[in-house]
Amino acid sequence: MSMIEPLREVLTGRVVTPDNSDWESVRTAWNLAVDQQPLAVVLAADASDVEHTVAFAAAHDLKVAAQAGGHGATKALDGTILVRTSELDDIWIDSHAGIARVGAGVRWGALQSALDGTGLTGLPGSCGGISVVGYCTGGGLSWFSRPYGSGAGSLRAVELVDASGSRRWIDDSTDPELMWAIRGGGGNFGVITSVEVELFAAPEITGGRLMFPIDQAEAVLTAYGAATATAADHVTLWAYVTHFPDVPFVPEPVRGKSFCMVDAIAPYEPAALEAALAPIRAAGTPVGDTVRRHEPGSLGEIAPAPGDPASLLIGSTTFDELSPEVLGMLLKHLGQPSPIFQVQIRHLRASDDIGHTGVAAADPVAQYCALLWAPVPLPEYEEPAREALLALKDAMAPWHAGELPPSSLGAGDSLQDSISEPDLVRLREIKQNVDPLGVLVGGYPVI
Ligand SMILES: Cc1cc2nc3c(=O)[nH]c(=O)nc-3n(C[C@H](O)[C@H](O)[C@H](O)COP(=O)(O)OP(=O)(O)OC[C@H]3O[C@@H](n4cnc5c(N)ncnc54)[C@H](O)[C@@H]3O)c2cc1C
């Protein structure tokens, strides 16, 4: 009998182990590049399944980790009892108070759709398939981070199961240190079953994507850099150089082709968005333009991401100015052939006044970040992809302008690549207080 067997007896949800026929599909994370090998997977049916699981692990000298979809999968979760939270999918909205309470399995797409017609938005990232909890506890760089700060800053209260298996709600008035730690260190400090997030004014969301032929990249990105320098604080502009792979799941019109693209969004005052976009449109000949009014629930259409699991290596870098040198360096590394399928440049937070002080994953200080994506559909693609990401990061090192929150880290990175040494020391002290035996494992461990 496996040591996990007694856990099956007390749970409403399933415990899946290597001897179950669906083990392969259940153990797998969204990011297939990480060959995740947990000890067992608990498909939690409710919050008490999470309590039982953590209590069982604590009593048997085992470790527990939590995962929603696994967009942020890492090897740190190997050997743990992995709690999958997808069934914890309740959504409750108080639009009057500007608060949403969601279960740990709720994805941004579902929460945003539930906000249609309210004039409010959460702080989602680009992909509707990402969970509110996984993202906010890792920092969370949003479409709306410029005016409203990071996803972590929007966390108001958390229901968590602590290292002994007890569940309680906490907030800044009851546990300020723990709340600080969770806003960046998530899974290291508790298994979260629900969160309350703040909602923000979005009475007239306008956004979309401009697409240009790749040979116009230099002119368009130069205009993009100038537009970001003068854009209103509530206007967000992201730019891309993308080489769409020649594979069946990519829609025919773009399959196998390369583009320079600009995504734009504003939660109110669309005229300011149009003013920022006019010189970018004029810098080239757009072959696609999807800018239109949106409800919160349709934001995922702006920058479509694959819903099905994919195999990706992710890298990032930061800089303060999109100078001709920086632009030249990015374009040099992204000329084809390159294993890097896309670089996404994000214009970051509008001002130091935005954000939240009780956040371990501090809002970035840099003006821009570049997020780098390299697909690895076959194992032999992995090494060239890793080398290409490292080469681009190294080439950009002279302009490096500070770290990004953990939600931007790749699978091979560590918290040191995101959080400053003094803050790491503080995180380790909190960890020692709340989980001295190390029962709880986050995607990026603190110790
Ligand atoms: C296509 C794509 C788009 C992305 N876009 C963005 C973006 O716009 N902005 C951004 O900031 N990031 C983005 N990311 C990065 C990042 O992967 C996610 O923000 C984050 O990992 C959440 O994804 P997930 O919900 O699948 O989390 P998972 O991979 O399921 O979890 C990630 C980590 O969160 C913690 N966690 C999850 N659930 C719990 C829980 N119940 N209790 C305690 N801890 C928990 C754990 O430490 C876990 O290891 C993107 C990633 C991809 C692949």
CB 310 within 8 A of CB 369: no
- Nearest residue CA, atom 48 of ligand 1? 443
* pLDDT given at position 255: 87
pLDDT at 249 exceeding the cut of 80? no
Q: Average pLDDT for residues 249-259, to the nearest whole number? A: 85
The per-residue pLDDT for 318 is 97
The count of other CB atoms within 10 Å of the CB of residue 129 is: 18
pLDDT at 15: 98
Q: Are 286 and 212 in contact (CB under 8 A)?
A: yes
Question: What domains lie within the chain, and their CATH numbers?
Answer: 5-84 (3.30.43.10), 91-201 (3.30.465.10), 205-408 (3.40.462.20)
Q: How far apart are the first and last CA of the chain?
A: 32
For 326-359, write each residue's pLDDT tens digit: 999 999 888 877 889 899 999 998 787 777 888 9
pLDDT of the residue at 353 = 78
What's the pLDDT at 168? 98
Cα–Cα distance measured from residue 328 to residue 447, given in angstroms and rounded to the nearest whole number: 39
Structure token digits, residue 86: 């997808």
The SS3 assignment for 89 reads: coil
Predicted confidence at residue 333, as pLDDT, reads 87
Q: Atom 7 in ligand 1: which residue has the minimum CA distance?
A: 125
pLDDT in tens, 145-156: 999 999 999 999
- Quote the mean pLDDT of the chain: 95
Q: What is the 33 CA–ligand 1 centroid distance (Å)?
A: 15
Which of 31, 132, 135, 170 best tests ligand 1's pocket when mutated (most atoms within 8 Å of CB)?
Answer: 135
Burial class (CB in 10 A: 0-12, 13-18, 19+), 91: middle
Does residue 113 have a pLDDT over 70?
yes
Q: Is 371 helix (H, G, I), strand (E, B) or coil?
A: strand
pLDDT in the model for residue 131? 98
- pLDDT of res. 1: 58
Is pLDDT at 316 greater than 90 in this prediction? Answer: yes
The residue that leads in pLDDT, 380 or 37, is 37
Residue 120: which residues within 8 A CB-CB, separation 6 or more? 95, 98, 199, 200, 201, 202, 296
Q: What is the pLDDT of residue 207?
A: 98
> What percent of the chain has a predicted confidence (pLDDT) above 70?
100
Q: Record the tokens describing residue 285, joined without a space.
A: 């000949």
Mutate to test the pocket of ligand 1, among 26, 30, 71, 263 (most ligand atoms within 8 A of CB): 71
Atom of ligand 1 nearest to the CA of 31: 53
Atom index in ligand 1 nearest the CA of residue 160 equals 42
pLDDT beyond 80 at 247: no
Would you say residue 302 has pLDDT above 70? Answer: yes
- Nearest C-alpha neighbor of 116 from the set 294, 249, 284: 294
Nearest CA to ligand 1 atom 44: 187
- Ligand 1 mean position to 103 CA, how many Å? 15
Q: Which tens digits make up the pLDDT trace of 27-60?
A: 999 999 999 999 999 999 999 999 999 999 999 9
